[in-house]
Amino acid sequence: MYLLQGTLFSFEEWLKIESKDRLPLFFETLDLRPYVKEMKKSSPQGARGYSREAILRAFLAAPMEEISTLTRLHQR
């Protein structure tokens, strides 16, 4: 079975939006709660005290902000 995913914005609309307004608009449109809920809650490794939704948002925002490495993402 194939599903055709709808678009959030057309490419032309996306280009018209100022760069500082893109991320807030992008995240207002997406509901990340189902994905955050499914993320593993406990792990023997990794830092504690970080919001899983914030981490997910960072990974989604990285390509839009042209952040290509985890080190650069962490620094940002």
Total domains present in the chain = 1
59 found inside a domain: yes
**Is 60 a domain residue?**
yes
Res 7: pLDDT:
73
Supply the pLDDT for residue 26.
82
Residue 26 domain flag = yes
Please report whether residue 9 resides in a domain. no
- Domain ranges, residue 69: 16-39+50-75
- Note whether residue 56 is domain-resident: yes
Distances (CA, A) of 6 to 3, 14, 43, 59, 72: 9, 15, 34, 21, 31
**pTM for the whole structure:** 0.65
- The helix/strand/coil state of 53 is helix
State the 10-residue block means of pLDDT for the chain, 76 residues long.
68 80 83 82 65 88 89 88
pLDDT of residue 43: 60
pLDDT of residue 69: 92
Per-residue model confidence (pLDDT) at position 62: 92
